[in-house]
């Protein structure tokens, strides 16, 4: 399981002209990719990591870095099979490592469910849809997580 987490001041997902998920930050916009061997346990680990990842700067040096859990910061979670694209050979990426929808969708849903169980406010994209994602990356700060 892979995730690209971006600190944002705002982010939204639009499908067919309709906003299906949006957050105002500070928060995290998270793209989640699933491969064939991923498990619900990995989804739970990813959720805990996202909720506790210290990526927000404190306003004063004594405050240190903060996490979503510290700030009650929202997350926008978007499934992204292309995180498992492989473009090492040729000019066209292959998607062999990306799990098919029936495998991936429940695991992305599990990440969201686990985040909500931890107390997070979570918005989502729409699995399998042609999504338009817009965001304001703060910093910019982007980190790759892999389990």
Provide the annotated active-site residues. Answer: 80-82
Closest among 35, 13, 37, 27 to 115, alpha carbons compared: 27
For 87, which DSSP code? -
Q: Is 80 exposed, middle or buried (0-12, 13-18, 19+ CB in 10 A)?
A: buried
For 108, which DSSP code? H
Distances, alpha carbon 59 to alpha carbons 19, 63, 143, in Å: 32, 7, 21
């Amino acid at each position: 399981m892979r995730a690209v987490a971006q600190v944002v001041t705002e982010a939204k997902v639009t499908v067919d002209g309709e906003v299906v998920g949006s957050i105002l930050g500070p928060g995290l916009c998270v793209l989640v990719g699933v491969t064939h061997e991923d498990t619900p346990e990995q989804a739970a680990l990813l959720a805990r990591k996202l909720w506790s990842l210290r990526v927000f700067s404190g306003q004063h040096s004594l405050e240190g870095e903060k996490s979503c859990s510290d700030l009650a910061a929202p997350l926008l979670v978007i499934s992204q099979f292309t995180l498992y694209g492989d473009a090492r050979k040729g000019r066209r990426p292959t998607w062999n490592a990306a799990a098919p929808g029936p495998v991936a969708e429940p695991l992305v849903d599990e990440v969201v469910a686990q985040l909500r169980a931890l107390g997070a406010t979570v918005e989502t994209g729409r699995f399998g849809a042609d999504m338009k994602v817009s965001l304001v990356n703060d910093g910019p700060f982007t980190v790759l997580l892999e389990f």
